[in-house]
Amino acid sequence: MNHRSLAFRLAVWYALLLSATFALVGAGMFYGLEQYLRSGLADSLRRRSTQIEQILSEAPVDASDSTIVDSIETRLAPEFNNRFVRLTRESSGLVYRSGVPADRSFDPAAIPPSPPPWPARGIARRVGGLMESTKAIDTPSGRYLIELGASLAPIEAVQAHLVRLLGMLLPVLVACAAGGGYLLVGWALRPVDRISQSAELMSLQDVDARLPVVPSGDALARLSISLNNMLGRLRESVQTSRRFLADASHELRTPLTVIKGELQEVVRTETMSRELHDRIGSVLEEVARLEHLVSGLLVLSRLDVGDAQREWVDVDLAELSAGTAEQMRLMAEDRGIRLETAALRPVVVHGDRARLKQVIVNLLDNAIRFTPRGGTVTLDTVVNDTYQALEIRDTGIGIPAAAVPRIFDRFYRVDEARSRADGGAGLGLSIVRSICGAHRAEIEVDSEVGRGSCFRLKFPLQA
Partner 1 sequence: MRLLIVEDDRKLAEFVARGLRSESFAVDIAGDGREGEGFIDAYQYDLLILDLMLPRLSGTELLRRVRKSHPTLPILVLTARDATDDKVAHFEAGADDYLTKPFDFAELLVRVKALLRRTPQERADVLRIGNLELNRLTQQVRRDGRRIELTAKEYGVLEYLLSNPGRVFSRTMILEHVWDQSFEGVTNIVDVYVRYLRRKVDEPFPVKLIHTVRGVGYCVRDSVSAAE
**Interface with partner 1 by CB under 8 A: which residues?**
250-251, 253-258, 260-265, 267-268, 271, 277-278, 280-285, 287-288, 291-292, 294-296, 298, 302, 308, 311, 324, 327-328, 330-331, 334, 354, 357-358, 361, 365, 368-369, 422-425, 428
Name which of 218 and 334 has its Cβ closer to partner 1.
334
Nearer to partner 1, 209 or 284 (CB): 284
Q: How far is the CB of 453 from partner 1 (least distance, A)?
A: 17
d(CA 348, CA 335): 31
Q: How many Cβ atoms sit within 10 Å of the Cβ of residue 131?
A: 20
Give 405's DSSP letter. G
* Distances from the Cα of 289 to the Cα of 223, 262, 293, 440, angstroms: 49, 17, 6, 30
Longest dimension (CA), the chain: 165
Least separation in angstroms between CB 379 and partner 1:
16
Provide, rounded to whole angstroms, the least separation between the CB of residue 315 and partner 1. 13
Q: Phi and psi for 382 in degrees, rounded to 5?
A: -130, 130
Q: How far is the CB of 308 from partner 1 (least distance, A)?
A: 6
- Cβ proximity to partner 1: between 192 and 284 the closer is 284
Residue 143 or 292: which CB sits closer to partner 1? 292
Count CB neighbours of 274 within 10 A.
7
Rounded CA gap, 41 and 52, in Å?
17
Q: Cβ 426 to partner 1, closest distance in Å?
A: 11
Smaller CB distance to partner 1: residue 208 or 422? 422
* Residue 321 C-beta-side C-alpha neighbours within 13 Å: 31
Q: Which residue number, 19 or 295, has a Cβ lying nearer to partner 1? A: 295
Instruction: Let me know if 287 is exposed, middle or buried by CB neighbors in 10 A (0-12, 13-18, 19+).
Output: middle
Query: What minimum distance in Å lies between the beta carbon of 367 and partner 1?
Result: 11
Q: Are 109 and 27 in contact (CB under 8 A)?
A: no
